Amino acid sequence: MGTSPCVLIALFSACWITNVIHSLPLTTTPDCSTGLTVHLGEIDEGYTGDIEIIPSVPDGGLELNLELCPQCSEFLEFISSFTNATLRTKKPLDTEAFRETAGVVSYQINCTSSRVENGRTLIVRDLNDNAPVFEKEEYRANVSETSPVGEIVVQVKAVDADFSPAHNHITYSIQPPSQTFEASGSGQILLKERLNYTIASQYNFTAKAQDDAGNFSQTQVIINIIDQLRPEFEYNPYEASVPENQVSLPSIALPLPQSTNSVTSDVLNYTSLFWLPLYILDLLFYQVGPVLEVLPAPIQANPSEESNYTIIYSISEVSPSDYQNNFNVDQVTGVIRVVTELDFEEIKDNINISVKASLEIDSTRTANTLVMY
Ligand SMILES: *[C@@H]1O[C@H](CO)[C@@H](O)[C@H](O)[C@H]1NC(C)=O
Ligand SMILES: *[C@@H]1O[C@H](CO)[C@@H](O)[C@H](O)[C@H]1NC(C)=O
Ligand SMILES: *[C@@H]1O[C@H](CO)[C@@H](O)[C@H](O)[C@H]1NC(C)=O
Ligand SMILES: *[C@@H]1O[C@H](CO)[C@@H](O)[C@H](O)[C@H]1NC(C)=O
Ligand SMILES: *[C@@H]1O[C@H](CO)[C@@H](O)[C@H](O)[C@H]1NC(C)=O
Ligand SMILES: *[C@@H]1O[C@H](CO)[C@@H](O)[C@H](O)[C@H]1NC(C)=O
Ligand SMILES: *[C@@H]1O[C@H](CO)[C@@H](O)[C@H](O)[C@H]1NC(C)=O
Ligand SMILES: *[C@@H]1O[C@H](CO)[C@@H](O)[C@H](O)[C@H]1NC(C)=O
Ligand SMILES: *[C@@H]1O[C@H](CO)[C@@H](O)[C@H](O)[C@H]1NC(C)=O
């Protein structure tokens, strides 16, 4: 086995070796008169062992200068005796530690007596020895169910510590694949279809970040859907009363004999037997009776601003339940009428009417309010 020609040249003059892959360790001889720069070649990261062996130490000795690579002191040690010296690793070489110099390790072996520097460079090749790591263990987001398709609901981010772009490129995905969400190349989680709180109020899935070698890590993504379409009553409770001119219940606007001396001329007195059949017809077909005057404002439930779905009102309960059949709510307007005459003498306390508003397209979306009469 012959010695590499360059090492022979290196014995006598400065030699710069580039792109030559040596196997380490390399045997060298420092030049204490003019200095000798040697490129030691390339080695895969993770290497441990001897890097440079100096079989013959010049008079006065040698010392290691790590001014150009402060972090090298963590990885390299220099063992020198009067006769020989060895530069070796203290721990496995890691390209990521030499990120600032793109994986190049530079140091100098000084001749102590002449103070001449012998430069050394070694390239630590990047391997795919790091998997992507998510910045958070869990990502959470609140998303309105009215969000449009394509909206970014949350941004996840993983970092792959590997130095070279070939080894730190990340692909994001959702596990298991979802029909509702998808991951973009930069870790944005996007909406693929319209949400519906009735169908799912929470999504819990895994986001995966994988590098090109297949190393990956995962994180939990929890998305809460905001129940945006549920109607909301403006007030709860409402207070109701029957306007005084309507207390003689029930009443309806029907053709009347003109009355000049009565303020309640438009109110018919149904105790008159004459009107009874009409009154029953009204109840059956028009359900007309005195309108409850409701404070602080007419009963109204609003859907969210973005929604224009139709709301349907109904009475869910009347307390005391004896009065269950006395009231009726207009399902479109929310106007409550007294449809069966109430005996005011009998009513000791108040009557509570529970009114429900629900969406026409989704009867599970409801809101309730109390109307205290
Ligand atoms: C030699 O190495 C020492 C550190 O060990 C450093 O202080 C000095 O600047 C280096 N160079 C010379 C020319 O002495
Ligand atoms: C290097 O020096 C040490 C300490 O003096 C000695 O034990 C060892 O045998 C030497 N190695 C070589 C290869 O000469
Ligand atoms: C990354 O993948 C490479 C090639 O499959 C493998 O050798 C290495 O051990 C993996 N590293 C990690 C940290 O998973
Ligand atoms: C989601 O909404 C809940 C309740 O309003 C709140 O406590 C939480 O901080 C919100 N989360 C995010 C990520 O905005
Ligand atoms: C999400 O799912 C994981 C695994 O199924 C479970 O461990 C976790 O508790 C769930 N988180 C929530 C907030 O539902
Ligand atoms: C309704 O008719 C009854 C009997 O005819 C009468 O006693 C009562 O005063 C009438 N009420 C009104 C408001 O006209
Ligand atoms: C809601 O409004 C949009 C336009 O603002 C309209 O296209 C749609 O038909 C409306 N839907 C209903 C149920 O009224
Ligand atoms: C009506 O509701 C109010 C408030 O919840 C309550 O204090 C009252 O007892 C209820 N009255 C009846 C008759 O249920
Ligand atoms: C949401 O899903 C429910 C149940 O399938 C359905 O009744 C409702 O119409 C849906 N809402 C919308 C806005 O599509």
326 secondary structure, DSSP code: G
Q: Which ligand sits closest to the CA of 128?
A: 3
Do 238 and 338 reside in the same domain of the chain? yes
Residue with tokens 């439930």: 301
What pLDDT digit, counting tens, does each position of 238-272 carry?
Answer: 998 876 555 444 444 443 333 434 444 445 555 55
Rounded mean pLDDT, 323-331: 90
Residue 63 in contact with ligand 1 by CB distance below 6 A: yes
Assess contact for 205 and 181: CB atoms under 8 A. yes
Q: Does residue 277 fall inside a structural domain?
A: no
The protein residue whose alpha carbon is closest to atom 10 in ligand 2 is: 84
Rounded mean pLDDT, 284-301: 77
Domain that holds residue 58: 23-125
- CA-nearest of 6, 167, 26, 17 to 88 is 26
What pLDDT digit, counting tens, does each position of 132-148 carry?
Answer: 999 999 999 999 999 99
At 275 the pLDDT is 59
b (16+ CB within 10 A) / e for 144-176: bbbbeeeeebbebbbebebbeeebbebebbbee
Q: Does residue 355 fall inside a structural domain?
A: yes
Do 163 and 98 reside in the same domain of the chain? no
Distance 373 CA to ligand 6 centre (A): 24
Percent of the chain topping pLDDT 70? 79
Q: Does residue 274 fall inside a structural domain?
A: no
Residue 22 pLDDT class (50, 70, 90 cuts): low
Distance 308 CA to ligand 7 centre (A): 6
* SS3 call for 258: coil
Q: Which atom of ligand 8 is found nearest the CA of 319?
A: 14
Q: Does residue 113 fall inside a structural domain?
A: yes
Do 242 and 343 reside in the same domain of the chain? yes
Q: Which atom of ligand 5 is found nearest the CA of 220?
A: 1
Residue 319 in contact with ligand 8 by CB distance below 6 A: yes
Which of 65, 92, 125 lies at the terminal end of a domain, its last residue? Answer: 125
User: Which residues are CB-contacts of 214 (< 8 A; sequence separation ≥ 6)?
Assistant: none
Q: Provide the H-helix boundaries in the chain.
A: 5-10, 165-168, 276-281
For residue 50, pLDDT beyond 70 = yes
Dist CA 312 CA 23 (whole Å)? 82
Encoding tokens for residue 182?
A: 């998808």
At 278 the pLDDT is 61
Ligand 4 site residues (CB inside 6 A) read 140-142, 224
Q: Does residue 279 fall inside a structural domain?
A: no
Do 239 and 322 reside in the same domain of the chain? yes
Distance 320 CA to ligand 8 centre (A): 9
Assess contact for 105 and 121: CB atoms under 8 A. yes
Q: Does residue 138 fall inside a structural domain?
A: yes
More confident residue, 127 or 20: 127
Q: What sign results for the dihedral spanned by CA atoms 86, 90, 92, 95?
A: negative
The CATH number of residue 303's host domain is 2.60.40.60
Q: Does residue 84 fall inside a structural domain?
A: yes
Do 359 and 302 reside in the same domain of the chain? yes
Q: Which atom of ligand 4 is found nearest the CA of 224?
A: 1
| DSSP notation for 163-230 | SSHHHH-EEEEEES--SSEEE-TTSEEEE-S---TTT-SEEEEEEEEEETTS-EEEEEEEEEEE--S-
Rounded mean pLDDT, 58-81: 94
User: Which residues are CB-contacts of 19 (< 8 A; sequence separation ≥ 6)?
Assistant: none
Percent of the chain topping pLDDT 90? 67
Dist CA 186 CA 156 (whole Å)? 8
Beta pairing partners, 291:
337
Do 165 and 201 reside in the same domain of the chain? yes
For residue 287, pLDDT beyond 50 = no
The protein residue whose alpha carbon is closest to atom 8 in ligand 6 is: 269
Which of 78, 106, 125 lies at the terminal end of a domain, its last residue? Answer: 125
* Maximum distance among all Cα pairs of the chain, rounded to whole angstroms: 136
The protein residue whose alpha carbon is closest to atom 3 in ligand 1 is: 65
At 158 the pLDDT is 98
Dist CA 140 CA 20 (whole Å)? 51
Q: Does residue 295 fall inside a structural domain?
A: yes
Dist CA 247 CA 249 (whole Å)? 5
Average model confidence (pLDDT) for the chain? 85
The protein residue whose alpha carbon is closest to atom 5 in ligand 4 is: 142
Which of 66, 97, 125 lies at the terminal end of a domain, its last residue? Answer: 125
At 373 the pLDDT is 86
Do 107 and 176 reside in the same domain of the chain? no
Domain count of the fold of the chain: 3
Pocket of ligand 9, candidates 196, 201, 309, 311: which has the most ligand atoms within 8 Å of its Cβ, to mutate? 196
Assess contact for 196 and 145: CB atoms under 8 A. yes
Do 313 and 216 reside in the same domain of the chain? no
Do 34 and 104 reside in the same domain of the chain? yes
Encoding tokens for residue 292?
A: 């409850």
Do 304 and 351 reside in the same domain of the chain? yes
Q: Which ligand sits closest to the CA of 309?
A: 7
Q: What are phi and psi of 166, to 5 degrees?
A: -65, -25
What pLDDT digit, counting tens, does each position of 299-319 carry?
Answer: 999 876 667 889 999 999 999
Q: Per the confidence metrics, is the pTM higher than 0.85? A: no
Do 92 and 137 reside in the same domain of the chain? no
The CATH number of residue 121's host domain is 2.60.40.10
Do 306 and 351 reside in the same domain of the chain? yes
